[in-house]
Amino acid sequence: MSAASCVLCDRAQTLDVNNPGWILHTGRWAVSVHPAMAVPGWVAVQTVRHTEGLADLDAAEAAELGPLLSRVCQALTRVTGSQRVYTYSLGEGCAHTHILVGPPTQELRGAAFIAALLGRNDSLVDPAAADHTALKLAAELSD
C-alpha cells in the first residue's frame, strides 16, 4: 500500500492542527478521535507520514511513541475517570501505523469490550459524548 491509497493519509489531509479533529499533533504523530466509530474516549495515535507498522518507524518516531502513548493514556485516565486504558494495533483493516487507545465501558470490559469494538457494535457509539470527551482530552493534552 502507498500513501496515495491510504485511508488514514487521506483523512489526515482533511484535518489540520487547527481542526478539532486533531486532538494533538506533534509533527511526527497525530492524535484524533477514533476514525471509524465515535466511541467516547477512544482515539487513534497515528504517524503523520505514511508507515505500515512499527518496524517502519524511523528513530525519532520510535523515540517519541512511548512517551506519547503514556501521556495520552494518563490524560484519558484523568478525563474519563477510567482506571484502565486499553491499547491495540492490528494494521489489518488499514495498513497505516496507528494505535487505538481508550477506556472500556462500565458494562463491557476486557475481551468482551474489544470484541464489541472490533465488531463495530453500535451500542458503544455516542457521538455527542465522544466529541465532549475529545474536547476535554485536547484541553488536558495542551497543558
Please write the tens of the pLDDT for every residue from 119-129: 999 999 999 99
pLDDT bracket for residue 22 (50, 70, 90): confident
What is the domain partition of the chain in residue ranges? Answer: 3-142
pLDDT at 67 over 90: yes
Q: Positive or negative CA dihedral for 75, 76, 79, 82?
A: negative
**Three-state DSSP state, 126:** coil
- Write down the CATH number for the domain with range 3-142: 3.30.428.10
Report pTM: 0.89
The sign of the dihedral angle between the CA atoms of 7, 101, 42, 13 is negative
Mean pLDDT for all residues in the chain: 89
3-state secondary structure 98-124: EEEEECCCCCCCHHHHHHHHHCCCHHH
Q: Which residues contact 4 (CB under 8 A, 6 or more apart)?
A: none
Nine cell digits for residue 9: 493519509
Beta strands, E only, the chain: 22-25, 29-33, 43-47, 86-88, 98-102
Q: What is the pLDDT of residue 17?
A: 52
Q: Nearest-CA neighbor of 31 among 20, 17, 45, 41?
A: 45
Question: Residue 2: pLDDT above 80?
Answer: no
